[in-house]
Amino acid sequence: METQQSEVLLSIRDLHFKFTLRGQVLHAIRGISLDVMRGESLAIVGESGSGKSVLVKTLMGLNDQNGFIESGQILYGGRDLATLHTDAEWQSIRGREIAMVLQDPMTSLNPLKTIGWQIREAVELHQNLHGEAARKAACEMLAEVGISDPERRYKQYPHEFSGGMRQRVVIAIAMACRPKILICDEPTTALDVTIQAQILGLIKEMQKKYDLTTIYITHDLGVVANVADRIAVMYAGDIVEIGRCEEVFYDPRHPYTWALLSSLPQLGVKGQPLYAIQGTPPNLFHEVKGDAFAPRNPQALKIDFVKRPPMLAVSPTHSARTWLLDPRAPKVEPPEHIRALRERGRALRQQGEVTSHG
Amino acid sequence: MADPREKMLEVDHIRVQFGKKRHPFVAVRDVSFDIYKGETFGLVGESGSGKTTIGRAIIRANPLAAGEIRFEGQRISGRLSAARDRQVTRDIQMIFQDPMSSLNERAKVGYIVAEGLYAPGRHCSEEERRQKVAKALSDVGLLPEFASRFPHEFSGGQRQRIGIARALILEPKLIVADEPISALDVSIRAQVLNLLAALQKERGLTYLFIAHDLSVVRFICDRIAVIHKGDIVELAESEQLFAHPLHPYTQALLSAIPQPDPIAERQKKLLVYDPSCHDYRVDKPVWTEVEPGHFVLGNQRELEGYRKMLTR
Ligand SMILES: Nc1ncnc2c1ncn2[C@@H]1O[C@H](COP(=O)(O)OP(=O)(O)OP(=O)(O)O)[C@@H](O)[C@H]1O
Ligand SMILES: Nc1ncnc2c1ncn2[C@@H]1O[C@H](COP(=O)(O)OP(=O)(O)OP(=O)(O)O)[C@@H](O)[C@H]1O
Ligand SMILES: [Mg+2]
Ligand SMILES: [Mg+2]
């Protein structure tokens, strides 16, 4: 599975995004820097309301009218997407370069047009095909996303499709534009697990076939474990940890990541409360001071309340925004479950070394 | 064997269909189950299998084409007197599935959450209402200040919690929770699950819990029913269902559960359910209790096999 992923395809640099709301200002993205590598599958996880959807929508200029980029750059294909404003300016990016699949396929489909018409429209616009050739390409696209009897299905309307089939159609439309980056914002939350597995398989297939880069947003850490090459963890408008999939799962370093991984229902004992993080996330109408997670972290250091920690490296591919990684920090033991995960990671690594040497 | 537990809700051979009378689309064919007082009853299954339709039938938003639904022993499907209608509306609340489209976009969150408190017969002062809203919001991990904002200004998970606060504020007896936590991160999910469990202990609340996330369902539900294309195919106590799934659809469903562990997840073996594995042409399927509390849909040949699987 290891591929060479060294070419930066898209680079977000110190991005700040704000919403104005009846005279108040909400600081939704607070200085995020992120390189997306060509061909990789990046998963973004984190607190509800932490800015995951807002972040990916800035890549397509799809945020609500009351939002604006205050500063920062989004470098892609020699351009800075942060400087684009009008729909006309975005035209060459949306769909063509970067496409999006949302949680609820019904919001992306037009209920009044046939499935075939909707795919064909994308084909005509982006592949420069017309007439019978466009119709054929649309049918092929339907078959490619695993819909049987595409000739008949072509003439049907969205309400005649099941949820899983609709999501396949949305993927077919997105892929008909031949994008370089496919953003999936909770692509399978509305689907049962058997169909979810099929859709994830389908996206992976597309990724291989079309040299696609994917960005997943999901709350399902099982999905993340399945699809991600790298994981970015967000909290309160910031990326607090980023690393390769195994690094974040088996050796997490930020206290928020610890808390997140400790809240899984799989770890629960029936009849007893699950572990949950105390308190509420910060109000983003106010400036956040220090480490945004500190007020909810029982082991927070003094400095966490005063100064925002820098991104500190754990390995060349893994870093976290926490003072715990500073050489001057006292030793703080992670919770029990995280220590168990670390053990598991270590055992697996040793096993791997044995097999790769043997 | 008489069951000492008290039945809160009885869903009795219901059928729900849509579309024209002459060519109806049958969304729920013939579904029966009971929910006991104080329990959490899980309903899982394929997308489009009829889970939401059943939930909406229970809150009386979908009329029944056949069958009956009883709440605390009394019929609630069909026509009811105005007073009874009000009472039932108050006692049974639903948390709706889709957080992006189930909230009134023109109303402020404070009003949306408090709406049920304005119903006739509710005497609630302005101040009391304000306090209840603030409490309901903070119970689900939202800031009380959010009351003055509009739904579109929130993230998916924040909107979902607005829907939960709205149902809880009325202190119902039965909550139909349709995918109540699908858009939440695991920590807030844990917080909401803890809240639901605490309310159950405190007030004896009963839940019908519909969800795709089976690790959550396993954790929170006492009993689980598995539904496939409008038919319930298996029903058992949670641990029993996970330990001994009998119906091939249940087995496929359980095999697909995502595991939050990269290595285990990538080695996972999926089972695929092929409905044509059943030969129901002569030997018809019947809903049968194969061991105490464990029901499965199957024909005589299949049932024999299921019983064998249990003795092994
Ligand atoms: N139009 C808007 N006006 C004001 N605030 C907004 C608007 N849209 C989003 N926000 C705020 O921006 C923040 C980030 O929202 P976003 O939708 O990115 O969250 P998210 O991480 O995707 O959460 P979820 O997991 O719940 O979907 C939230 O605090 C939200 O309330
Ligand atoms: N108002 C309606 N008119 C026509 N058909 C409907 C209506 N509501 C639901 N259906 C159909 O009934 C079937 C069952 O839908 P339902 O929403 O109950 O499924 P579900 O099990 O809740 O699925 P999901 O897991 O995707 O939410 C589907 O085929 C759906 O298209
Ligand atoms: Mg979101
Ligand atoms: Mg539903």
Domain with A173, as residue range(s), is 109-178
pLDDT in tens, A62-88: 999 999 999 999 999 999 999 999 999
Confidence (pLDDT) at A355: 54
Region B48-54 average pLDDT: 90
Domains of chain B, each with CATH number or no CATH: 7-274 (3.40.50.300)
| Residues contacting residue B248 through CB under 8 Å, at least 6 positions apart | B271, B273, B274, B277
Beta carbons of B119 and B86 less than 8 angstroms apart:
yes
Separation between Cα atoms, residue A161 and residue B15, nearest integer Å: 21
Identify whether residues A349 and A320 lie together within a single domain: yes
Most confident of A317-326, B140-149, B208-217: A317-326
> Of A178, A201, A233, which residue constitutes the final position of a domain?
A178
Does A221 contact chain B (CB < 8 Å)?
yes
Averaged pLDDT score across all residues of chain B? 90
CB contact under 8 A, A246 and B262: yes
| Same domain? A237 vs A266 | yes
Which residue from A356, A289, A204 is spatially nearest to A30, judged by alpha carbons? Answer: A289
CA-to-CA separations, A225 to A241, A262, A297, in angstroms, rounded = 16, 15, 25
Q: Answer yes or no: is pLDDT of B49 > 70.
A: yes
* pTM score, whole prediction: 0.91
Position A353 scores a pLDDT of 62
For residue B64, which phi and psi values (nearest 5 degrees)?
-90, 140
Atom of ligand 2 nearest to the CA of B55: 18
- Burial of residue B284 (CB within 10 Å: 0-12, 13-18, 19+) is exposed
Is residue B227 within 8 Å of residue B45, measured between CB atoms? yes
Residue at A81 is within a domain: yes
pLDDT in tens, A110-169: 989 999 999 999 999 888 889 999 999 999 989 888 888 899 899 999 988 877 888 889
User: Which of A125, A145, A178 is the endpoint of a domain?
Assistant: A178
CB interface of B with A, residues 226-245, below 8 Å: none
> Is the interface score ipTM higher than 0.90?
no
How do B174-178 and B286-291 pair as beta strands? Answer: unpaired
Per-residue pLDDT tens over the stretch A172-197:
999 988 899 999 998 888 788 988 89
Whether A354 has a pLDDT exceeding 80, the answer reads no
The reply to whether residue A276 touches residue B194, judged by beta carbons under 8 angstroms, is: yes
Within a domain: residue A26?
yes
Residue nearest to atom 17 of ligand 2 (CA): B52
Scan for tokens 């995960």, then name that residue.
A341
B51 C-beta closer than 6 A to ligand 2 = yes
Q: Is B38 an interface residue toward A (CB < 8 Å)?
A: no
pLDDT at B266 over 60: yes
Q: Whose CA is nearest to atom 14 of ligand 1?
A: A51
Residues in chain A closer than 8 A to B188 (CB atoms): 47-48, 276
Q: Does any ligand 2 atom lie closer than 6 A to the CB of residue B53?
A: yes
Is A19 within 8 Å of B153 when comparing Cβ atoms?
Answer: yes
Show Cβ contacts of residue A173 under 8 Å, excluding neighbours closer than 6 positions. Answer: A108, A118, A119, A122
List the single best residue of B46, B186, B239, B242 to mutate versus A (max A Cβ within 10 A): B186
CA torsion B102-B159-B212-B136 (nearest 10°) is: -100
The pLDDT assigned to A259 comes to 95
Cα(A38)–Cα(A7) distance, rounded to whole angstroms? Answer: 6
- Residue A338 falls within a domain, yes or no? yes
For residue A268, the number of C-alpha atoms closer than 13 Å in the C-beta half-sphere is 26
Q: Is B153 on the interface with A (CB under 8 A)?
A: yes
Of the bound ligands, which one is closest to the alpha carbon of residue B31?
A: 2
Does A189 lie in the same domain as A68? yes
Nearest atom within ligand 2 for CA of residue B56 = 18
Burial class (CB in 10 A: 0-12, 13-18, 19+), B281: exposed
Give the 3-state secondary structure of residue A51.
Answer: coil
- Tens of pLDDT, residues A303-348: 999 999 999 999 999 999 999 999 999 999 999 999 999 998 888 7
- Looking at the structure of chain A, the number of domains it has is 2
Q: Where are the beta strands (DSSP E) in chain A?
A: 8-21, 24-37, 41-46, 67-76, 79-80, 98-101, 181-185, 213-217, 230-235, 238-244, 312-315, 318-320
Q: CB contact, 8 Å: B211 with chain A?
A: no
Ligand 2 contact, B18 CB (< 6 A): yes
A220 and A186, same structural domain?
A: yes
Going from the C-alpha of B163 to that of each of A28, B111, B201, the distances in angstroms are: 23, 12, 22
Asked whether the beta carbons of residue A249 and residue B262 sit closer than 8 angstroms, the reply is yes
B18 touching chain A per CB within 8 A: no
Q: Are residues A216 and A349 in the same domain?
A: yes
Same domain? For A191 and A174 the reply is no
- The answer as to whether A40 is a domain residue is yes
| Ligand closest to the CA atom of residue B227 | 2
Contacts of B145 in chain A (CB under 8 A): 283
Same domain, A172 and A187: no
Q: Is the CB of B50 under 6 A from ligand 2?
A: yes
Residue A103 lies in a domain: no
A140 found inside a domain = yes
Distances in whole angstroms, Cα of residue B136 to Cα of each of A48, A346, B57, B139, B161: 18, 44, 26, 5, 10
* pLDDT level of residue B255 (50, 70, 90 thresholds): very high
Is A164 in the B-facing interface, judged by CB distances under 8 Å? yes
Strands B206-210 and B174-178: parallel
Backbone angles phi, psi at A147, to 5 degrees: -100, 120
Q: Does residue A157 sit in the same domain as residue A208?
A: no
User: Which of A151, A178, A205 is the endpoint of a domain?
Assistant: A178
A128 and A35, same structural domain? no
Q: Which residue in A48, A169, A348 has the most chain B C-beta atoms within 10 A of its own C-beta, making it the best mutation to test that interface?
A: A48
Please tell me whether residues A207 and A308 are part of one structural domain.
yes
Based on the fold, state whether residues A32 and A66 are members of the same structural domain: yes
Tokens of B30: 């013939």
